[in-house]
């Protein structure tokens, strides 16, 4: 990539933003009655409305020029062709192969992986269906009622988010639980009301050495051995890992081990065997529909023109706000309680992918990269942080997600929910000026002095941008589409910023230091002399409090 071309494209965007004076979004609607028609894109029933954003036709043209300068199309081809796009680890990033149900060739570094992916998927789904149907049973011969997934990061966030999102599709006789934190309270609280006699534990760790996961798994193993006997371990555990020797030593039977590949990053692994808990819960047909949703978006991302390509448009709007307007955060607000964990899932997907400060050459970047991603479901957020969104000093672009129809929920409730979603995006855009506030207060009977005192507090500046993703209903296929949209959006932004979206070296240092600190924290007689003053002080203070207790 010629970075000078990208710099020139950004300079053109900056110049246009200064020259145009960033007209208000509401004024753009007033000037163009067909603005919604011009600034939305569709794929099947999925509609992306980006008309409530700070851009006009010229801004969009300049953003599309940026994609050409950044060589988005050849970089997209490299990703989808299985080239070594993860340059620091010399790997492909071919999670798209995991949701390739067509049987078409998919190559990672030149090797067609479609057949082995299909074989592993069939093994996974066969096991999932056997557990779900009761063919595979607990040590006492009873049907499994509870599934406990041990993982951390992508091996927890993905399946935990998806299981909650798709809860209406989970078999009535099954409950899914997710334990991630090394804090023993996570495991203890999960097992308090979970019958170990009919619980299947899934240990998700590619290396079978992940500290948090293996600590929790070891506790579960001891828990099962104590209550059911050591011979029950083989019946109550399965694993997602590539380390067969370690898995065997733990006591998991070889036919209960499911693998994936080094070209699958953790935050992209929900499509792989990491999705075993979800597959057990929702069943083969629904899990394949989930995969098909991701495959739908892969096809759209590959084939749609850039100006109608939803993940590309999402990426460009995010780049506009991060690099031209300087907005530091991005809120994701699903108007669906079952998508409560979706913002947290996107936090990892976005911030671990693009939270980088060096470019592909290893040089420090001279521009901002990933925003801080956060959010909660509506309408709950309206009674919490929406105060800042509407009247705070920071402008926070918002993605709203909403279904036209409810899934296993009351229609009247959903109409109220839907109205609130549209109202919030409308209010963020339009605001309420001082004159309108004053007129409203006067109509309520307030006098001039009271109006002058109160009116400034009720002014909404408006002109706060948002986008809306509208779909028919939250189904397995829809969820697959939503996840894949954000995956490809993040990839496009990484290309524009010339960073590697597929490594995550930033998680390493803290883990290394934790391993060094663990013996010191675990032994109250261990020396703290090698530690910095703050860490040593905290260790000593904790020792004193434990002794006092």
The predicted-structure confidence for 108-144, as pLDDT tens digits, reads as follows: 988 999 999 999 999 999 999 999 999 999 999 999 9
Give the residue-averaged pLDDT of 359-365. 96
pTM: 0.97
Question: How confident is the model at residue 430, as a pLDDT?
Answer: 97
549 band by pLDDT with thresholds 50, 70 and 90 = low
In a 13 Å sphere around the CA of 504, the CA atoms on its Cβ side amount to: 17
Per-position b or e across 204-232, b if 16+ CB within 10 A of its CB: bbbebebebbbbbbebbbebbeeebeeeb
- Quick check: 21 pLDDT over 80? no
Are both 3-69+304-429+464-503 and 102-286 of the same fold? yes
Q: Using the 8-state DSSP alphabet, how is residue 460 labeled?
A: B
289 band by pLDDT with thresholds 50, 70 and 90 = very high
| Spatial CB neighbours of 513, under 8 Å, sequence gap ≥ 6 | none
Residue 296 main-chain phi, psi, to 5 deg:
-55, -45
- Quick check: 548 pLDDT over 90? no
Alpha carbons 326 and 328: distance in angstroms, whole number: 6
Quick one: 160 exposed, middle or buried, by C-beta within 10 A (0-12, 13-18, 19+)? buried
Tens-digit pLDDT profile for residues 174-224: 999 999 999 999 999 999 999 999 999 999 998 999 999 999 999 999 999
Give the residue-averaged pLDDT of 317-333. 97
- Quick check: 462 pLDDT over 80? yes
List the domain boundaries for the chain: 3-69+304-429+464-503, 102-286, 431-463, 508-548
1 band by pLDDT with thresholds 50, 70 and 90 = confident
Tens-digit pLDDT profile for residues 391-400: 999 999 999 9
| Spatial CB neighbours of 153, under 8 Å, sequence gap ≥ 6 | 180, 266, 267, 348, 352, 507
Helix, strand or coil for residue 354?
A: helix
What's the whole-number average pLDDT of the chain?
Answer: 96
Give the residue-averaged pLDDT of 63-72. 97
Question: How confident is the model at residue 2, as a pLDDT?
Answer: 87
Q: Which residues are catalytic, by number?
A: 352, 383, 511
Name the architecture of domain 3-69+304-429+464-503: 3-Layer(aba) Sandwich (3.40)
**Beta-strand relationship, 46-49 and 107-108:** unpaired
Give the residue-averaged pLDDT of 406-430. 98
Distances (CA, A) of 384 to 18, 334, 430: 34, 15, 20
| CA-wise closest residue to 337 among 225, 241, 420 | 420
> What is the CATH superfamily name and number for domain 102-286?
Glucose-6-phosphate isomerase like protein; domain 1 (3.40.50.10490)
- Quick check: 536 pLDDT over 90? yes
Helix, strand or coil for residue 461?
A: coil
Helix, strand or coil for residue 432?
A: strand
Give the residue-averaged pLDDT of 258-280. 96
Angle at 43 between CA 37 and CA 44, to 5 degrees: 110
User: Structure tokens of 312?
Assistant: 């590309």
3 band by pLDDT with thresholds 50, 70 and 90 = confident
């Amino acid at each position: 990539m010629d970075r000078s071309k990208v710099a020139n494209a950004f300079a053109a965007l900056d110049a246009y933003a200064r020259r145009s004076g960033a007209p208000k979004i509401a004024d753009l609607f007033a000037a163009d009655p067909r603005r919604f028609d011009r600034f939305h894109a569709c794929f099947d029933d999925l509609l992306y409305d980006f008309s409530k954003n700070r851009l006009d036709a010229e801004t969009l043209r300049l953003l599309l020029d940026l994609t050409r300068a950044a060589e988005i199309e050849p970089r997209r081809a490299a990703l989808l062709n299985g080239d070594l796009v993860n340059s620091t680890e010399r790997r492909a990033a071919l999670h798209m192969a995991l949701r390739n149900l067509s049987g078409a060739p998919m190559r990672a570094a030149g090797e067609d992986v479609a057949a082995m992916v299909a074989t592993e998927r069939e093994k996974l789904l066969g096991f999932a269906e056997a557990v779900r149907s009761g063919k595979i049973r607990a040590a006492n011969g009873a049907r499994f009622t509870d599934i406990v997934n041990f993982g951390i990061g992508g091996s927890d966030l993905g399946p935990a988010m998806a299981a909650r999102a798709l809860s209406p599709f989970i078999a009535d006789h099954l409950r899914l639980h997710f334990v991630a934190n090394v804090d023993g309270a996570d495991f203890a609280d999960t097992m308090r009301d979970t019958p170990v006699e009919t619980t299947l534990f899934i240990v998700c760790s590619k290396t079978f050495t992940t500290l948090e996961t293996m600590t929790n798994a070891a506790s579960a193993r001891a828990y099962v051995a104590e209550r059911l006997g050591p011979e029950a371990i083989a019946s109550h555990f399965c694993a997602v890992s590539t380390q067969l020797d370690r898995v065997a030593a733990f006591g998991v039977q070889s036919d209960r081990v499911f693998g994936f590949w080094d070209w699958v990053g953790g935050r992209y692994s929900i499509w792989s065997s990491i999705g075993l808990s979800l597959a057990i819960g929702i069943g083969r047909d629904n899990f394949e529909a989930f995969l098909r949703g991701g495959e739908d978006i892969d096809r759209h991302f590959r084939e749609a023109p850039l100006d109608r390509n939803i993940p590309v448009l999402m990426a460009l709007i995010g780049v506009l706000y991060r690099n031209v307007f300087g907005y530091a955060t991005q809120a994701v607000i699903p108007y669906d309680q079952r998508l409560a964990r979706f913002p947290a899932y996107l936090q990892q997907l976005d911030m671990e992918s693009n939270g980088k400060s060096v470019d592909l050459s290893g040089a420090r970047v001279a521009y901002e990269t990933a925003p801080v991603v956060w959010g909660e479901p509506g309408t709950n957020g309206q009674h919490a942080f929406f105060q800042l969104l509407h009247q705070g000093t920071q402008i926070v672009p918002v993605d709203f997600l909403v279904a036209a129809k409810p899934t296993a929920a009351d229609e009247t409730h959903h109409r109220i929910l839907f109205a609130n979603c549209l109202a919030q995006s409308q209010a963020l855009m339009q605001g309420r000026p001082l004159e309108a506030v004053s007129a409203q207060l006067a109509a309520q009977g307030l006098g001039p002095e009271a109006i002058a005192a109160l009116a400034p507090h009720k002014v909404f500046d408006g002109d706060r941008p948002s986008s809306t993703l509208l779909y028919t209903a939250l189904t397995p296929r829809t969820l697959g589409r939503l996840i894949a949209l954000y995956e490809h959006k993040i990839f496009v932004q990484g290309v524009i910023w010339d960073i590697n979206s597929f490594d995550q070296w930033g998680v390493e240092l803290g883990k290394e230091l934790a391993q060094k600190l663990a013996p010191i924290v675990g032994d109250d007689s261990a020396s703290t002399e090698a530690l910095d003053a703050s860490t040593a002080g905290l260790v000593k203070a904790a020792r004193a409090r434990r002794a006092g207790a």
